[in-house]
Structure 1
């Protein structure tokens, strides 16, 4: 059986349509990850023992349990607590909450690279803690941690394929469906791999542009 580009051309529109769900899960999950990651990082570094302990447990749990298990857990558990979310919402929430554990550690490492004198000077000037974090620490931590945050987003694009287990027609799931109909797995999976590559290549290039603009490294 010869490799057929006609098979790719015929099914490419379906694969591209499915890639929109892949991007939605990844980008929305990353947005949740950054917001929650900042809060977890602040809690992790807090002098409040209860907050710090909760953050450590959260980070350990979500880094220690496979994302596939977390996706299934969220999908089947949320209705029991009165949250009847669509599968796509459950997938985004699970992905974002899992990624937040890694984002929190990325930001914590970046914060440790910021000279302590900045925080001490802000405290001496009477700047409130919330303003210190919002205006001084978080912007610098995101700038310093940008390369790792871009890598995390690229990772989310790849692991978004796990959302297929809860019935979401993202790129991998649609590739499997088309393969079952056409019996042409090589062409379909080569096309899917190409789409994943293009998405991640574009993200990495935007990341490099942002790094150069912010003069990182």
Structure 2
């Protein structure tokens, strides 16, 4: 067996274990929490009082206007200077959640705004409250439009978790870095890590396509029933 293939074979279990133990949980938790934060931020900007809407806009402006790596460094290396100490994984989780929250809020805000006003009027005409109209009429319609951009955000997050290595989270990429430090074979190990990310992204892209088709069929059924 060639040396490079033997090295990749030997290191694969370590890289996969790091991905299962850290990369996957970090991605899923960050996206879920970020999506909740994004929904709250979007609704606040659209329907909240002016003071809260201003805070939400400021949060989105700061997060979208600064690099994710800098945000992680501020949380992990900067906050200890004011007495706030965080372990690497919680710091990464907070950083990714805040980042996803800001970007997803813009997506959610746009798709909610794209729902015709007539849908609100129809919901109110049958006695729905604002909360009922939002949860039963507006959000289901907005969700179909939001699936593609939110799916892309999720796939990008899978790759962005490699930045967590910079704050010592032992995820997939840092596992590759540690093996490189002992084998002195950076090209082989980094290509292997890239291939793993490529496989993950390809699988998620395939799932995204299926999800989009399912929502498209559901949307067509809804239109035909009107």
Query: Corresponding residue for 2:18?
Result: 18
SS in structure 1 at match of 2:169 = coil
Residues 3, 187 of structure 1: 8 Å contact kept: no
CA deviation profile, 1:124-155 (whole Å, cap 9, x unmatched)? 33322222222222232222110000100111
Q: Name the CA shift for 1:84/1:215 in 2 (closer, same or farther; >3 Å).
A: same
Residue 153 (str. 1) matches residue 151 (str. 2): no
- Cα deviation for residue 107 of structure 1 reads 1.0
Mapped to 1, the partners of 2:184 and 2:48 lie a distance apart of 59
- Cα deviation for residue 213 of structure 1 reads 0.6
- Cα deviation for residue 96 of structure 1 reads 1.1
- Cα deviation for residue 77 of structure 1 reads 5.3
Query: Corresponding residue for 1:205?
Result: 206
Q: How does 1:31-180 map to 2 (within 5 A)?
A: 31-46=32-47, 48-76=49-77, 84-180=85-181
Mapped to 1, the partners of 2:143 and 2:72 lie a distance apart of 27
Query: Corresponding residue for 1:191?
Result: 192
Q: Which runs of 5+ in 2 are unaligned?
A: 220-226
Residues 8, 187 of structure 1: 8 Å contact kept: yes
SS in structure 2 at match of 1:214 = helix
CA deviation profile, 1:72-117 (whole Å, cap 9, x unmatched)? 2222455678765432122112101111111011111212221111
Mapped to 1, the partners of 2:52 and 2:185 lie a distance apart of 53
Residue 5 (str. 1) matches residue 5 (str. 2): yes
* Greater RCO (Cα-Cα under 8 Å, separation 6 or more): 1
Could you tell me the TM-score, scaled by structure 2's length?
A: 0.88
SS in structure 1 at match of 2:47 = coil
Mapped to 2, the partners of 1:136 and 1:91 lie a distance apart of 35
Q: Which has the higher helix share?
A: 2
- Cα deviation for residue 6 of structure 1 reads 0.5
Residues 173, 193 of structure 2: 8 Å contact kept: yes
